[in-house]
Amino acid sequence: MVDAGVLGARIASSAVTPLVKKLFVKDQPGAGLVSRPVRISALVSFGREKRNVTPKDVGKVADELVRRALKAAGPGEQPVRAEEAAAVRHALAHSLAALGTITIDDYEAVALGPEEFARRLRSHAAVVSLGLSGDGELFYEQLLRTASLHILNFFTQRSTYIARQQTAQSRQLARLVQAVDVLLERLPSQTAEDTGFEARYADHIAGRYGTLTIYGLDAGTSEWSLDTAYLSLEATRERDGRSGGLQVPAEQVLAQHDQVLLRGVAGSGKTTLVQWLAVTAASRAYDHGLTQLIGRVPFVLPMRRIVRPGTEFPIPGDFLKAAGSPVAGEQPAGWVERVLRAQRGVLLVDGIDEIAGDRREAARRWLRELTRTFPGNLWLVTSRPSAVPERWLDSAGFHELTLSPMARDDVATFVRRWHRAAGADEAEGTSLLQAVRTTSELNRLATNPLMCGMLCALHRDRRGFLPQDRKSLYEAALTMLLERRDRERELDHPDGVRIPYATQVQLLQKLAWWLIRNGRSEMDRSDALHIIGQAVPAVNLDGTAEDVYASLLLRSGLLREPADGRVDFLHRTFQDYLGARLAVQELDFDLLVNHSERDEWEDVILLAIAHARPKEAEQMLRRLVGQGTSRGKLLAAAGLRYAAEVEPSVRAQVEEGVGSLVPPQSLAEADRLALAGGDLLLALLPGPEDINSKTTAYRVVEAAARLGSESALHFLTRFRDHPAEAVQKTLAAAWQRFDRELYARDILAHLTQQHQVFVRDAEDLRTLRSIGGWEDIRVRGTYRVEDLTELIVPERLAHLSLQAPHPVEGLAWLAAFPSLVDVYVETEVSTTVEQQIPAWITLITPQSRPS
């Protein structure tokens, strides 16, 4: 018998090629005018339309391949018996039939090569080679590989593939040429010393900021590669004083403006974005599409570290030293100033809110002086939302954006990545997502990466049981970090000090409360040792203050040393939680309420209400409302959700106080109401029958839409036939905050006006198709033309916006939409694509984008 493993190679190409061609549709002229290669499933001739060949004909192709292979072997060298040859035909037919379901592109398939492509076909097949003998399996695999080789060769000969390959290479070359032009423009003649140091500094940035601490892996914390951990969120730019305007990917905020103040709540990803921008700028890569970062030098300036009590704000030459960079001593004299004079700097000022309030005015003067002295550089300043007033940096030329909460898809992506990194069962992540989407309180918590990481860890640690409020979530996290992790791992304490859970909490509380009272986000190591040293005799621990401090630092997972001689908490939210506990123990309620106007005390006050006994919580709520300020009333309204028990009279007083702010008088006030009031707000907001002003109706709908809960969805159904254009526009734009299928069915399908909706993926398009289609669609991010042409209802589409990193390559596919009136293409790539775009299509590039 002939070797079955080589028999397939005996089939002549002249015999195989015609058989392979039967599997695919004829190469059509013009079919290549799409922005990406087509999927293989769209090329086969036996798909759901049965254009030329039926599934039975795939079996005929397999029969013919086997017959020709056996004939080539000769009568005395048959590799398998006749009965097994039939089984080989069956397996081969099923593998070839998988071409109708495989979703990769023809371009990607060629890149895989015949071996890997054959493996993909086999893995997609419903029936494979089970039951075949060793010779039969070799025969089947060699035939499948031979067929794969000819299939890939067939792809490369199609005119559309050749055109796409040339287009892709041309586009890649154009991007490279553009990047080199930008690089040459930004790189003036440098000394060899400057060039050498910049290379070393870039390596330092990649090493220092190229990983990200993700909460909860391995029942504690773990570091992920930034490439894996980074999640692209959205930032909202106000337009004409109105929020809810244009949304852009957060990493693109410096593409439109050189100077940006980015606001975001604790844990929302501000620092992660700073790291990502720093590493990307330092990478010396040119294929990321962010031309604004090419050839630039990043400077990460964490305010908590560079602005210490009694110190001045650093001048440029001291940036690296102030940030604690170990390469600071190597920098050539005057290097930073030369970089800034050449307009090559990316200055990432992280955490204005983390310096004392009385120093923020000095920080503003410092930023204003630097931007005026060194114009043309990129600046990103981050802050919690209420740390500084609106338009705080307007005089310095900064544009304000707000980092949006994680959308449903972002949460799902994060949960999948977390469970994959933790080696957890995929079903655990699915179970968690189901719990988050069906429980309003969990849905409110899962809005940023920090909280999502905590939920993932606790869901796994507690086998599906999750706390239902923020206080319980932190309590469970502390128990896991401070007590259960070491106990369940049976770890000893190499530092020689074993600290009971309650004692660890007490000591950490003292450190946290000292930081809060002093308006600090980190302290000197000597101050921490002093606080611990005073407490050690009372908590009955063996060992010195140094021993106890070392144990807390190494084992708690909550403390860290960001620089030599400095100590802070892993995240500000843990500091606020622990400080609030001690404030309640010490009965410091007056101190808490007296600081209610300071934004950095907001979470501390709310968590103190959660820790307080009922009478203490009621006293705080009364005093907050009694201040008569909007902030005090909103804090009290938010505090109702934290209090375990509240007398009806106190609850009525709080609701009356916040009721005086309803309806909201501005969009900013609507935002604050939604953040503070939660679903309580819905009972206070007026319905459409009680509103006479279109503007008021718009603000009410904006406030309710920000809640994103099922209760809010039910409330919004009352406004779906409201005549105000602003109301209809807000309702259309809000669907990404809710369960999209429910929202489309209960809101979108009933709107009297069809304003623009945002689409992220094919599932969104399917949802819109299920309600009969939509007139005005904005596709954000990378898309497949096939998805647009197959899933959008052609007769309904009148306005199409495409916000993609790269321009559309070819426009013939737009002919599929007979009712199309206009197309709006927004791209971050500045090319000569204008010559390819007809006049009826609006193209927005970085050069043509309005300021």
If DSSP states are collapsed to H, E and C, what string results for 139-190?
HHHHHHHHHHHHHHHHHHHCHHHHHHHHHHHHHHHHHHHHHHHHHHHHCCCC
Domain end call among 343, 375, 404: 404
How far does CA 170 lie from the centroid of its chain? 31
Residues in the chain: 851
Amino acid code (one letter) for 96? L
Look up the CATH number of the domain holding residue 383.
3.40.50.300
Sheet containing 757-759: which strands, arranged edge to edge? Answer: 757-759, 776-780, 799-804, 822-827, 841-844
Which tens digit of pLDDT belongs to each residue from 789-820?
Answer: 888 998 999 998 887 655 555 667 788 888 88
Whether residues 154 and 260 share a domain: the answer is no
Q: Report DSSP letters for 239-263, one per residue.
A: BTTBSS--EEEGGGHHHH-SEEEEE
Residue 307's region, left for phi above 0, alpha for psi from -120 to 50, else beta, is beta
Residues 353 and 383: their CA atoms lie apart, in Å, by: 5
Average model confidence (pLDDT) across the chain? 77
Q: Is the pLDDT of residue 43 over 90?
A: no
β strands within 433-537, DSSP E: 522-524
- Band of pLDDT at residue 126, cut at 50, 70 and 90: very low
Strand partners, 39: 105
**Cα torsion angle, 817, 818, 824, 829, sign:** positive
Q: Given the structure tokens 């932190």, which residue do they identify? A: 474
Name which residue leads in pLDDT, 159 or 102.
102
Q: Is the pLDDT of residue 838 over 60?
A: no
* 504 located within any domain: no
Name which residue leads in pLDDT, 523 or 670.
523
Whether residues 236 and 157 share a domain: the answer is no
Q: How many domains does the chain have?
A: 3
Among 59-63, 429-433, 597-601, 834-838, which is the least confidently predicted range?
Answer: 834-838
- Cα dihedral 489, 490, 492, 493, rounded to 10, equals 50
Residues 663 and 519: their CA atoms lie apart, in Å, by: 34
Whether residues 157 and 244 share a domain: the answer is no
Whether residues 153 and 54 share a domain: the answer is yes
* 155 located within any domain: yes
Whether residues 377 and 268 share a domain: the answer is yes
Burial class (CB in 10 A: 0-12, 13-18, 19+), 75: exposed
Whether residues 135 and 244 share a domain: the answer is no
Q: Is the pLDDT of residue 833 over 60?
A: no
Task: Tell me what pLDDT residue 737 has.
Answer: 81
Which tens digit of pLDDT belongs to each residue from 79-105?
Answer: 777 778 888 888 888 888 777 766 666
- Band of pLDDT at residue 529, cut at 50, 70 and 90: very high
Task: Tell me what pLDDT residue 469 has.
Answer: 76
Identify the domain containing residue 846 by its residue range.
Answer: 756-851
Which tens digit of pLDDT belongs to each residue from 375-394?
Answer: 999 999 998 776 788 889 98
Residues 703 and 670: their CA atoms lie apart, in Å, by: 5
* 330 located within any domain: yes
Whether residues 270 and 366 share a domain: the answer is yes
Whether residues 251 and 395 share a domain: the answer is yes
- Band of pLDDT at residue 29, cut at 50, 70 and 90: very low
Task: Tell me what pLDDT residue 386 has.
Answer: 66
* 331 located within any domain: yes
Whether residues 388 and 245 share a domain: the answer is yes
Which of 214-223, 585-594, 669-678, 788-797 is most confident?
585-594
Which tens digit of pLDDT belongs to each residue from 268-307?
Answer: 788 888 988 998 888 876 555 677 788 889 999 998 888 8
Mean local confidence (pLDDT), 224-241 = 68
Q: Which of 731, 831, 728, 814 is nearest to 779 (CA)?
A: 814
Q: Is the pLDDT of residue 500 over 80?
A: yes
Whether residues 353 and 267 share a domain: the answer is yes
Whether residues 396 and 247 share a domain: the answer is yes
Q: Which of 513, 639, 525 is nearest to 578 (CA)?
A: 513
Task: Tell me what pLDDT residue 594 has.
Answer: 92
What share of the chain has pLDDT > 90, as a percent?
19
* 634 located within any domain: no
Residues 676 and 633: their CA atoms lie apart, in Å, by: 9
- Cα dihedral 110, 115, 120, 121, rounded to 10, equals 90
Domain end call among 142, 163, 184: 163
- Band of pLDDT at residue 419, cut at 50, 70 and 90: confident
Which tens digit of pLDDT belongs to each residue from 592-648?
Answer: 999 988 878 888 999 999 999 999 999 999 999 898 887 888 888 888 888 888 899
Task: Tell me what pLDDT residue 847 has.
Answer: 44
* 172 located within any domain: no
Whether residues 149 and 242 share a domain: the answer is no
* 712 located within any domain: no
Domain end call among 404, 432, 462: 404
Q: Is the pLDDT of residue 658 over 70?
A: yes
- Band of pLDDT at residue 124, cut at 50, 70 and 90: low
pTM value is 0.53
Q: How far is CA 717 from CA 664, 731, 742, 776, in A?
A: 20, 9, 11, 21
Element (H, E) at 597: none
* 366 located within any domain: yes
Task: Tell me what pLDDT residue 527 has.
Answer: 93
Name which residue leads in pLDDT, 165 or 548.
548
Element (H, E) at 562: none
Q: Report DSSP letters for 334-390, one per residue.
A: THHHHHHHTT-EEEEEE-GGGS-GGGHHHHHHHHHHHHHHSTT-EEEEEE-TTSS-T
Mean local confidence (pLDDT), 498-527 = 90
- Band of pLDDT at residue 177, cut at 50, 70 and 90: low
